[in-house]
């Protein structure tokens, strides 16, 4: 039995439907960005230690991203498969995907928490912590890791709420946590004088509230696809299908961590000021990439549902809207930050030396991101259509094949600027390759939809 919220994925006019699905997710992701940004803004302005504390928290970002990226296997791989199953009318399979995904998130939490606590100091030193910043990094991470389960559940299962055509509910789960984090940050950091520990504690409590909201909805009668205990026992075929498609979004997220390891380690040789600058640059980049992630969370269920339903025209229309919107938004925002880097830097620090470092590195670092909206639209469409192998290749191309080697090679010829230039070159190259590959493969995928419809 279908639900009115699911039915609209296959019947409503595409343009208002995509934006109705996407805007709550964009708003949620943008507010969610405040989790990290507010932490860094407050930390960067702690009197006397702000710059070193910002660098310390900055080197934890790589490990935090790596841990949270495991939720992308479930959310990015399982949710599109569940939406396809709903489009096909196979609610039992969709329920199994959700239940198995929840169990996987618990297993991921146990694995990542154990490894991170056991090897915390060597990992942080490898990611770029110095004797001046290691203490701040350990203070932040030791508390943040207590909330790993909340992070995995809230981010991994929220995509299944979107897959049911309920973006407003999914948005609320993020808003609750993010707004609470904004309130708690100054209380713990300044009023209770807890410093970076306070920032981490505020984040843990906020994520816990988000996780409670997500689970309370999925276990309730309001969910058209509820989380049921009978489907939580792992099934090999379900798990393998989730892993196959989820590897791509996992690589997209986890390679950000791997790149952070490489970039921070390279920049540490030139001084902690460049590690602090990278923290500002990566956070600024998130102002574009995070809303794009939100928009993808909105259009992917629409594309997946109609792909499963066999409606080729609606799939094409959905992609056209996503491509134009994501490219235009990303381009405008990147050009603003490239033209006014000092204004952006001033939001994070009052240190004149750090602002000047960001001023000349930001145009170099973000140059390739101007066309990155093309890749995000095409790559997420591959995921929406269940094209696992192509998605994995694209995810590996940008970070592993291009960026890491460039970040290790270019500094020998360009000095510290080479570390930042590596990001721009890899972003632009990957976006062009991904777009060309998509427009080559997309007609073949559409023909398969037609063949499927004829066979039915």
pLDDT score recorded for residue 332: 94
pLDDT score recorded for residue 322: 94
pLDDT tier, 348 (very low <50, low <70, confident <90, very high otherwise): confident
pLDDT score recorded for residue 298: 82
Please check whether residue 60 is in contact with residue 257, taking contact to mean a CB–CB distance below 8 angstroms.
Answer: no
**pLDDT per residue over 277-289, tens digit each?**
887 888 788 777 8
Q: Choose among 422, 358, 423: nearest CA to 51.
A: 358
Percent share of the chain, pLDDT over 90: 25
Please check whether residue 69 is in contact with residue 108, taking contact to mean a CB–CB distance below 8 angstroms.
Answer: no
Element (H, E) at 25: helix 14-44
**pLDDT per residue over 212-263, tens digit each?**
999 999 998 888 888 888 998 999 999 998 888 888 778 777 776 677 677 8
pLDDT score recorded for residue 456: 41
pLDDT score recorded for residue 455: 40
> What proportions of the chain, in percent to the nearest 5, are helix, strand and coil?
85, 0, 15
Q: How many CB atoms lie within 10 A of CB 110?
A: 11
Q: Choose among 423, 418, 432, 381: nearest CA to 399.
A: 423
- Got the DSSP string for 382-436? HHHTT-HHHHHHHHHIIIIIIIHHHHHHTHHHHTHHHHHHHHHHHHHHHHHHHHH
User: Between 272 and 365, whose confidence is greater?
Assistant: 365
Q: How many CB atoms lie within 10 A of CB 263?
A: 27
Average the pLDDT over 18-29 and give the result: 78
pTM: 0.68
Domain boundaries, the chain: 27-233, 247-449
pLDDT tier, 328 (very low <50, low <70, confident <90, very high otherwise): very high
Assess whether pLDDT exceeds 60 at residue 167: yes
pLDDT score recorded for residue 451: 47
Q: Which residues contact 297 (CB under 8 A, 6 or more apart)?
A: 22, 25, 29, 159, 162, 170
**pLDDT per residue over 83-95, tens digit each?**
888 878 888 999 9
Average the pLDDT over 135-141 and give the result: 81
Average the pLDDT over 297-319 and give the result: 87
Query: How would you classify residue 46: left for phi > 0, otherwise alpha for psi between -120 and 50, otherwise beta?
Result: beta
Q: Choose among 415, 285, 421: nearest CA to 361.
A: 421
CA distance 85 to 297: 17
| Tokens, residue 56 | 């310390």
User: Between 455 and 361, whose confidence is greater?
Assistant: 361
- Got the DSSP string for 246-313? HHHHHHHHHHHHHHHHHHHHHHHTT-HHHHHHHHHHHHHHHHHHHHHHHHHHHHHHHHHHHHHHT-HH
Average the pLDDT over 314-337 and give the result: 94
Average the pLDDT over 443-449 and give the result: 82
pLDDT tier, 39 (very low <50, low <70, confident <90, very high otherwise): low
pLDDT tier, 137 (very low <50, low <70, confident <90, very high otherwise): confident
Please check whether residue 321 is in contact with residue 384, taking contact to mean a CB–CB distance below 8 angstroms.
Answer: no
| Per-residue buried b or exposed e for 9-44, using 16+ beta carbons within 10 Å of the residue's own CB | bbebebeebbbbbbbbbbbbbbbbbbbbbbbbbbbb
Tell me the pLDDT of the chain averaged across its residues.
83
Query: How would you classify residue 193: left for phi > 0, otherwise alpha for psi between -120 and 50, otherwise beta?
Result: left
Assess whether pLDDT exceeds 70 at residue 51: no
| Tokens, residue 384 | 């929406």
CA distance 105 to 72: 10
pLDDT score recorded for residue 428: 94
CA distance 309 to 73: 24
- Polymer length in residues for the chain: 456
User: Between 431 and 245, whose confidence is greater?
Assistant: 431
CA distance 445 to 318: 15
pLDDT score recorded for residue 397: 86
User: Between 194 and 355, whose confidence is greater?
Assistant: 355
pLDDT score recorded for residue 215: 93
pLDDT score recorded for residue 335: 95
């Amino acid at each position: 039995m279908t639900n009115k919220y699911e039915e609209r994925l296959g019947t409503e006019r595409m343009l208002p439907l995509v934006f109705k699905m996407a805007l709550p997710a964009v708003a949620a992701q943008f507010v969610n960005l405040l989790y990290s940004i507010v932490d860094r803004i407050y930390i960067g302005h702690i009197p006397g230690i702000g710059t070193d504390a910002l660098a310390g928290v900055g080197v934890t970002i790589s490990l935090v991203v790596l841990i949270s990226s495991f939720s992308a296997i479930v959310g990015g791989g399982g949710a599109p498969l569940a939406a396809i199953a709903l489009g096909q009318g196979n609610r039992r399979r969709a329920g199994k995907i959700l239940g198995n995904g929840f169990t996987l998130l618990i297993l991921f939490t146990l694995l990542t928490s154990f490894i991170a606590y056991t090897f915390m100091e060597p990992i942080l030193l490898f990611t770029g912590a110095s004797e001046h910043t290691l203490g701040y990094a350990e203070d932040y991470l030791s508390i943040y890791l207590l909330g790993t389960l909340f992070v995995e559940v809230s981010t991994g299962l929220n995509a299944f709420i979107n897959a049911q055509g309920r973006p407003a509910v999914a948005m609320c789960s993020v808003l609750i946590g993010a707004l609470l984090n904004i309130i708690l940050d100054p209380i713990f950091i300044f009023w209770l004088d807890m410093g970076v520990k306070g920032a981490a504690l505020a984040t843990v409590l906020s994520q816990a509230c988000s996780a409670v909201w997500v689970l309370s909805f999925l276990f309730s009668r309001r969910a058209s696809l509820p989380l049921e205990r009978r489907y939580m026992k792992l099934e090999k075929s379900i798990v393998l299908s989730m892993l196959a498609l989820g590897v791509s979004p996992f690589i997209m997220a986890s390679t950000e961590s791997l790149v952070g390891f490489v970039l921070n380690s390279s920049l540490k040789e030139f001084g902690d000021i460049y590690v602090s600058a990278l923290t500002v640059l990566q956070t600024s980049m998130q102002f574009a990439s995070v809303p794009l992630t939100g928009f993808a969370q909105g259009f992917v269920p629409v594309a997946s549902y109609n792909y499963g339903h066999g409606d080729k025209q609606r799939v094409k229309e959905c992609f056209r809207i996503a491509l134009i919107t994501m490219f235009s938004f990303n381009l405008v925002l990147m050009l603003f930050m490239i033209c006014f880097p000092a204004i952006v830097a001033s939001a994070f620090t009052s240190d004149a030396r750090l602002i000047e470092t960001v001023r000349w590195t930001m145009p170099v670092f973000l140059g390739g991101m101007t066309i990155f909206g093309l890749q995000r639209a095409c790559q997420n469409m591959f995921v929406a259509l269940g094209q696992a192998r192509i998605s994995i290749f694209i995810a590996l191309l940008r970070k592993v094949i291009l960026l890491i080697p460039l970040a290790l090679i270019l500094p020998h010829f360009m000095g510290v600027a080479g570390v930042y230039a590596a990001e721009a070159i890899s972003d632009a190259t990957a976006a062009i390759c991904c777009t060309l590959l998509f427009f080559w493969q997309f007609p073949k995928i559409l023909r398969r939809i037609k063949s499927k419809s004829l066979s039915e």
